[in-house]
Each structure stands twice: as C-alpha cells, then as structure tokens.
Amino acid sequence: MKTQAAVAVAPETDLEFRELTLDEPRPDELRIKMVASGVCHTDAIIRDQWYPVPQPVVLGHEGAGVVEQIGSAVSGFEVGDKVVLGPSFCGSCQQCLSGHPMYCETFYDHNFGAQREDGSTAFSSESGQSVGSHFFGQSSFAEYTNVPAQGAVKVPQDAPLELLGPLGCGIMTGAGAVLNVLRPKPGSSIVIFGTGAVGMAGMLAARAAGATTIIMVDIVAERLDFAEELGATHTVNSKEVDPVEAVKKITGGGAEYALDTTGVPPVFSQMTKSLGVQGHGALVGAAKLGTEAPFDIGTLLVSGITISMVIEGDAVPKEFIPRLIALHQNGELPFDKLTKSYPFAEINKAFADSAAGTTLKPIVVF
C-alpha cells in the first residue's frame, strides 16, 4: 500500500514528506494506522547522525495507533485494537529473559538498524529505493507502518491515543528511571538535572512515589517556573548558582537520589557530587559516542554512591505502560501538561519548537 511519511534525508535538514510504498507485514508483525506520535530529542540527534543510522529513514518512536492488519504468527491482537508502540527487542537473550528487554543484547540492531533482521525495509520510494524502517521497532512518522508485535502494547479502547505515544519513550524513560531503578523511598530527596520532557516525567514519578524534596536544576528560568507549577519543591538555575552547593544546602548534605537527563559531561559530574552518602544517581541523557565525563574517584570512593546508566527506564513496556496510564487516570502522573499537538504536516515546526525549548513534548497528530 501507499503511505505518506516524513523522511530524514540528511543531518540538520528538515524531514521531507514523501509518498512511500509499505510492504506486507511479516508473520510476526502488525500493520498500524498511526493516530499520533511524540517527537523525542532522540529523533533529532539521529536525524543529525550522532549515532550512525542509515538514511533515508523514517524516524519516530513514540507512536500510538490502531491495529490495521495482523501477521499470521501473531496472537493476542485483533484488528481495531488500540496500541502504544515501544522499542524492539529479541525476547530470547539473557537480558530479555531476565526481565530487562531494554538491555536486549541486540538492542542497537533492533532499534537503530533501520531494517528487519533479514535486511529488508518496510518502506520503499517511488523509484524502488529502500527507505529505512523499524526505527525503534516503529518508524512512527508515517501514516501506516509495520511493527514487530512484541513491542506493541495494547491499551484500553477508551484510551486517549492522541496523548499516549510518549509513554513509549520519553515519559517511560524519565518515569522508569525513577520508579524502576532509583525507587525513591517515601519522604526522600531527589535532584533532577534537566527539565525537558524526560526530567519532568521523572519529577512527576518521584512525586507519585512519595519523594518530598524534589529539586529541579536547569539553565532556562521559564522551564524551572513550570517545574515548580507541576510539583518541584525547589528549583536551581545552574547558570546563576553552583547546583552542587545548592543541593547540599537544601538537603543538609546531599540528595538521596539524582537523575541526569542532560547528557552534558559537566552536569553528570555535578550529579555525582550532589549525592549524599550511599546515594543513587542515574544517567539517561544521551551523548555522542565517545563522550567522557570527569568523575572524582578520590573523593567519591568513600561516599559509597551508586551510578546507573539507564535505557528506556529499564521498563518491560507491556507491564509498565499500563501502570503509567493508570497513574495518569488517577491524576498522579499528569504528563499531558507537558505535551503540545501539531498536525503531522507541521512536524518540522514540532522539531524546531522542541529544539528551541518552547515545547516540552511535541506530538504530531495524523
């Protein structure tokens, strides 16, 4: 069939709208009619080739849509089911089997390979050139796409699909790093660096978990004001004050938990130094391959801190996304306040507004 798609063709260049041919879903796949897709910072850095993903390629990895067609080997789905799409994983390696599919040993190939395991792509151009698909098991910047059924998460028929796509990456990443990895105790303190969609999702999750000192650090005053509105107990503008000193003062020695959503090396160092004795910090912010950050092994040895590198919130999406939806329905995870909708035709504006920091979480609606 034919489908309209936004295609990444070159670094730092607008996505191009093209009519592509979508092939037939494989036995283990679903064809999805996309309803909406979040735009994640990761889409922008892949368009810009921070990680080598072959172009032209259809990006997008926060898709939500409706099952249109079902591969012959798929069970558990019916045509018309509403789904939120998550990352792809093999399901059979040691990490997948032990409940950590976001650390699948072939995660990179599955999510950044832009093709199926057999080397085929789902999309091709009018001239017959293959166009990369299966980005994060989705390539959701297309009206129709084929996805591995394993990564699709069925959601209730009354679920607001136009809102839920970001649960598949950005919101899952921030909330999962907090709820699945850091696991703050009720009454505890946490500092979060970066008040983008990922940091804000972490903040809302920390609040839902009962953390009572929630410090948000950023260099953009408006974002800090918004963080306060949404439940931060303290904000620190690290352009104006030393965030390590500020966090130590607020917490009386250092935070129990910390999250770096920036991927900026000096910020990572600040995070390690903001932790109290035996504190637990996590990095989710992405940096170019080869990026190193200073880490004071002399001073920090005696502090006994733990640092985790966290992918996609270490979630099992089929288990975690329904929990996030339940928290949202309950009013405890109001991530809808982070989002702004754009027609699919304005996807490049959505990218630009995200880069400019004026929109936290753009969602393109088909």
> Contact at 8 Å (CB) between 30 and 147?
yes
User: Is residue 272 within 8 Å of residue 301, measured between CB atoms?
Assistant: no
Cβ nearer to ligand NAD, comparing 204 with 311: 311
Coil, strand, or helix at residue 338? helix
* Residue 42 binds Zn ion, judged by CB under 5 A: yes
Tell me whether residue 54 or residue 357 sits nearer to ligand NAD (CB atom). 357
**Measured between alpha carbons, how far is residue 215 from residues 191, 204, 250, 271, 285 in Å?**
5, 12, 9, 12, 17
Distance in Å, CB of 288 to ligand NAD, minimum? 11
In the bound complex, what is the minimum distance in angstroms from residue 218's beta carbon to ligand NAD?
Answer: 4
List the one residue from 35, 169, 214, 311 that touches Zn ion (CB under 5 A).
169
Q: How far is the CB of 337 from Zn ion (least distance, A)?
A: 19
Residue (45 or 352) nearer to ligand NAD, CB: 45
**Selected range binding Zn ion among 22-30, 168-176, 210-218, 223-231, rule: CB under 5 A:** 168-176
Q: In the set 7, 15, 40, 282, which binds Zn ion (CB under 5 A)?
A: 40
Two structure tokens written together for 264: 């900026």
> What does each C-alpha distance from 291 to 50, 156, 198, 359 come to in angstroms?
11, 41, 20, 27
Q: How many residues bind Zn ion (CB under 5 A)?
A: 3
- Minimum gap (Å) between residue 132 Cβ and Zn ion: 16
Q: Interface residues with ligand NAD (CB under 6 A)?
A: 40-42, 45, 169-170, 173, 193-199, 217-220, 223, 238, 261-264, 267, 284-286, 310-312
Stretch that binds Zn ion, among 167-175, 239-247, 280-288, 300-308 (CB under 5 A): 167-175
Q: Which of residues 151 and 199 has its CB atom nearest to ligand NAD in the complex?
A: 199
DSSP 8-state symbol, 341: E
Nearer to ligand NAD, 83 or 169 (CB): 169
Task: Please tell me the chain's helix, strand, coil percentages from 3-state DSSP, rounded to the nearest 5.
Answer: 35, 25, 40
Q: In whole angstroms, what is the distance from residue 317 CA to residue 313 CA?
A: 9
Let me know: does 155 contact 68? Beta carbons within 8 Å: no
- By beta carbon distance, the residue nearest ligand NAD is 196
- Give Dmax (Cα) for the chain: 65
Closer CB to ligand NAD, 145 or 262, in the complex:
262
Sequence-distant (6+) residues with CB within 8 A of 87 are 61, 101, 102, 107, 110, 111, 136, 137, 151, 168, 169, 312, 317
Q: Per CB under 5 A, does 39 bind Zn ion?
A: no
Which of Zn ion, ligand NAD, none lies near 262, with the C-beta cut-off 5 to 8 A by kind? ligand NAD
Q: Please identify, among the stretches 161-169, 181-189, 272-280, 288-296, the one whose residues bind Zn ion according to the rule CB under 5 A.
A: 161-169
- CB 217, min distance to ligand NAD, A: 6
- Dihedral of alpha carbons 268, 269, 271, 276, sign: positive
Which one, 70 or 244, has the nearer CB to ligand NAD?
244
